[in-house]
Amino acid sequence: MFFLEDLWQILCVQGFQDKARVLSESLLRTVSESMGNSDCGVSELELCRDDSAAFHFKLIAIASILTSGVIGIAIPLFGSQRRFLKTDGNLFVAAKAFAAGVILATAFVHMLPDGSNALSDPCLPKFPWSKFPFSGFFAMMASLLTLLVDFVGTQYYERKQGVIRSKEEENRVGSVVDSGLESGILPAGDLNVKLFGEEDGGAMHIVGMHAHAGHHRPSHPQGKEACDGHVRVHDHGHAHGGHGHSHGLDGDDDESGVRHVVISQILELGIVSHSVIIGLSLGVSHSPCTIRPLIAALSFHQFFEGFALGGCISQAQFNTLSTSLMAVFFAITTPIGIAIGAAVASTYNPNSTGALIAEGILDSLSAGILVYMALVDLIAADFLSKRMSCNFRLQIVSYCTLFLGAGLMSSLALWA
C-alpha cells in the first residue's frame, strides 16, 4: 500500500510539477555556485600573487617563447639547404627523433594529466564529470579522428597529384605529337607508341619511358642484399638499347611527398591547438611562482616542437609562401595566447565551470592528436623505414635521442 500511495503522488500532476521544480532549482543552484565561486580551487601558488611582477614575467615569456619557436622551426627549414642538416641526412633523422620524444612526452606527461585534472576538478559538478574518465575518452577520440583525417587527406592529395600528373603527361605527349606531325618525325624516346612495322612480339620496337621501366624493372633483393643496395647510390644508369634509367622509384617518392604534406598540416593543427591553451594558462596567471618555471619549460618545448614541425614542412617541399605562413602561424600562436590571457586576466576565472571544461577538453583532444602524430607519423615512419633497419649506428643514435628527448621533457613536469 505504501508503494502504491507514493506512486500515486508521483503521478499526480501537482506532485510531479513540485518535484520537477525542486530538481531544476537544485541543478541551477549547483551550476551557479560552481561558476560564481571565484575562491574555488585556489592553490598555494596563488598566495605568491603579485600582478606587477607577473606582468613583467609574461613579457619575458612572450619574448623567450617567440624566439625559441622561430629558431626551432627555422633550423630545419634553412638547414635543409645546407649539407649538415639535409632532410635525407643521418643528423636530421637523429634530431627529429629527439623532437618526436619531446612531443610524445608533452602529450602523455603534460597535456593528458592537465586535461584529466581539469575535468576532475572539485569545482565541477560531480555528475557527470566524476563518473566517467572523460580525458582519456576525448584523447582516444582525437587519435581516431586524426587517423581518419590522415587517411582522407592522403587519399585526396594522392588523387589530386595523380590528376595533375596525368594532365602534364597528356600535354607533353600532345605537344610532342604536334611537333612530330609538323616535322614528319616522331621522337621515339619520348613516346610509348608503335611505329610502322612493329609487332607485339617482335624484336623491333621503340621503348618509351614507362614501357622501358616495365620491361626492365629491377628485382629488389631482400635482407642484406637489399640493405647493400639501399646504402649504395640509388640513382645509377644502365645501358639498355641506348637508354639510361634510374632504379629510384618515382611512385614511392610521390607517395612519400604526399604523406609529408598531410603529416605537416595535421601536426601543425595539433601543436597550435594546445599552444593556445598553454598560452592562455600562462597569461591569466597572477603568480610569478607559476610563471617563472613555465618560461624555461615552454621555451624548451616550443623549440623542439618547432624543429619537428619544420622538418616535416621541409620534407613536404611547400612553396615559399605556404612555408612562411605555417612557420609564422606556429611561432606566434603561444605568444598571442599569452597576450590574450594577460588582457583578460582581471576578469577571467580559470576555476569557473566553463573554463575548466574548455581547458580539459582541449588539453585532452590535443594530447590525442600529438600521441598519434608522434607515434605513427614521426616515430614509426622513421624507425620502421628501410633506411633505419639498414644502418645499425643510426638505430643506436636515434633510439638514444628519442629516449633522451622524452626523458628531458618529462622531467620538466617536476617544475611546470
Instruction: Give the model confidence (pLDDT) of 386-408 as tens digits.
Output: 889 999 999 999 999 999 999 99
CA angle at residue 285 from 279 to 286, to 5 degrees?
150
Greater model confidence, 283 or 168:
283
DSSP H/E element including 130: none
Q: What percent of the chain has pLDDT over 90?
A: 27
In degrees rounded to 5, what are phi and psi of residue 172? -65, -45
Average pLDDT over residues 85-99: 83
Average pLDDT over residues 333-346: 90
C-alpha cell at 27: 541543478
Fill in the DSSP letter of residue 223: T
* Residue 290, pLDDT score: 83
C-alpha cell at 29: 543552484
Average pLDDT over residues 173-197: 51
In this structure, of 81-95, 136-150, 187-201, 245-259, the range with the lowest mean pLDDT score is 187-201
Q: Which residues of 47-67 are buried (b: 16+ CB within 10 A; e: fewer)?
A: ebeeeebbeebbeebbebbbe
In sign, the C-alpha dihedral spanning 147, 153, 157, 162 is: positive
Distance CA 67, CA 43 (A): 31
CA angle at residue 304 from 110 to 263, to 5 degrees?
90
Contact 327, 265 (CB under 8 A): no
Contact 318, 378 (CB under 8 A): no
Per-residue pLDDT band at 178 (split at 50, 70, 90): low
Q: What percent of the chain has pLDDT over 70?
A: 66
Greater model confidence, 351 or 223:
351
Q: Which amino acid is at 87?
A: T
CA 63, 64, 69, 75: dihedral to nearest 10 degrees?
Answer: 110
* Residue 4, pLDDT score: 44
* Omega before residue 128 within 30° of 0, cis: yes
Fill in the DSSP letter of residue 248: S
Distance CA 152, CA 157 (A): 9
* Residue 230, pLDDT score: 52
SS3 231: helix
Query: Number of C-alpha atoms within 13 angstroms, CB side, residue 176?
Result: 15
